[in-house]
Amino acid sequence: MFACLIAPSDSAECPEKYPLPYFDNSAALFAPLAGNSWSVFLDSGHPLSSQGRFDIIASDPVCTLQTFGTQTLIDKHGQRSVSGDDPFQLLKAELGAPKTGFDDLPFNGGAIGYFSYDLARRIEKLPALACDAEQIADMAIGIYAWAVIVDHQQQQSWLVGDIAPDQLPALLTRFSQLNTTEIGDNTFQVISTPQSSLDQDAYAAAFDRIKHYLLEGDCYQVNLTQRFSCQCQGNPWLAYQVLRKINAAPFSAYLNLPDVQILSSSPERFLQVDQHRVETKPIKGTRRRSSDPRTDLQQIEDLKTSPKDRAEHLMIVDLLRNDIGKACKAGSVRVPKLFAVESYATVHHLVSTITGELADNENAVDLLRSCFPGGSITGAPKIRAMEIIEELEPYRRGVYCGSIGYIGFDGNMDTNIAIRTLIHNQNTIRFWAGGGIVNDSVMADEYQECFDKAAALLRLLQQFSV
């Protein structure tokens, strides 16, 4: 089946769909592109994770949008312009009205990139107290005319998009074989010990401040995180290949952007739109995994039955129901799964599924803006929780707790919550870990939960330590 889309050049073109050989490890397929600026890999974690289905590989965007504060730099076919307009509206304009795509594939060309946590400053008025260490874009999005889609369920691969005839032979050749030749720098080293932005005393002071706000009725829950950072050198793509082995997750990604490389092994879906059906799957509630099977099963049971975790989780479910309801048809929001447990390499998580039907006058970008950032990583009520986060966390979160994913020309979308995510720039690698604080939270338990969530990332850095 072929279907027409409007290409980024605004010329009416029809995307094509070309079969490619199937390879079960898409990381090897992406490797030759990993060193190219604006090359992106949305990774299901296959074959080490069976929870995802599709991988998406793209490069050579025809347009890029980078938002810094109140300005968005747009580079379209080599022509640069700057706009002070709402970045979400600028993205909507580049995507155009949704067009019919291939129903059996998740992406037929469109936008891929990240929306940082701090992009919320373009939606809400928030204090500016924390230090911006990374100095990277608040939003970085490429508009991609073509992509490679790998379907691990059907064991099929496709090249899709609006592809110029003179580009097609090279693209088909490039993705019809695995290139095992090393590309660029083939070393990566961590050259300092990871340091936290909050030692235990500082974390305890922030925790106590949150407890004060809870007792005063300012909020019901606040997500408090600490940032880890260390010096490094070499090629972060090598680190990502190890990360996906030790912490395979269904909403992983590697983005090589002009000023930053992003290595994400997120287990959490933020928002999906598939043929107007909306889904979000908030995570709230964690238990450390055990190597002993009996203890591991007991950890699951403890998580399922914990009154604290269930209450904390329900707050976020209610917040997300309200958020997606802003862009969904009245009466369409449902919770088909509540308090399910999903297990990953180092932790068990409490996860719920919330669904809705996108309203006729809304699209995926509208939905993303109305829900941004995800409530599972702020607290409730959202805006007051974010004000407290800005007061207590010494560094801006940047990409962490923002969102990575795609929005297609066909109107479909899938995005993650950017947790379990490392940010590499300035010869430094940084990542964050934290959790929700409520009235009956215990400081020592919450502090330990940060390290439970950070375990795989700390282990990754240890493997590259010199």
Structural domain that includes position 90: 5-177+188-463
pLDDT for 13 equals 58
Q: Report, as residue numbers or ranges, the catalytic residues.
A: 268, 284
Does residue 205 belong to any structural domain of this protein? Answer: yes
Closest by CA to 281, choosing from 327, 350, 207, is: 350
17 close to 31: Cβ distance less than 8 angstroms: no
Q: Is 99 left (phi over 0), alpha (psi -120 to 50) or beta?
A: beta
Number of domains in the chain: 1
Q: Is 98 left (phi over 0), alpha (psi -120 to 50) or beta?
A: beta
Does residue 324 belong to any structural domain of this protein? Answer: yes
Does residue 71 belong to any structural domain of this protein? Answer: yes
74: domain CATH number is 3.60.120.10
pLDDT for 98 equals 85
Does residue 182 belong to any structural domain of this protein? Answer: no
Q: What is the DSSP letter of 131?
A: B
Mean pLDDT, the chain cut into blocks of 10 residues (466 residues total): 35 75 95 96 93 95 97 95 98 92 92 98 94 96 98 97 92 87 76 96 98 97 98 97 95 97 97 97 94 95 95 95 97 97 93 97 97 96 97 98 97 98 97 96 96 95 94
pLDDT for 9 equals 39
The per-type count for the chain, helices as H runs and strands as E runs, is 10, 27
Find out whether the peptide bond into 19 is cis, omega within 30 degrees of 0: no
348 close to 286: Cβ distance less than 8 angstroms: yes
pLDDT for 78 equals 87
Does residue 244 belong to any structural domain of this protein? Answer: yes
Both tokens of residue 228?
A: 């880890």
Residue 390: phi, psi to the nearest 5? -65, -35
What pTM, to 2 d.p., does this model score? Answer: 0.95
Does residue 408 belong to any structural domain of this protein? Answer: yes
Q: What is the DSSP letter of 117?
A: G
DSSP annotation string for 195-231: EESS-HHHHHHHHHHHHHHHHHTS-SEEEEEEEEEEE
Does residue 183 belong to any structural domain of this protein? Answer: no
3 state DSSP class of 345? coil
Does residue 331 belong to any structural domain of this protein? Answer: yes
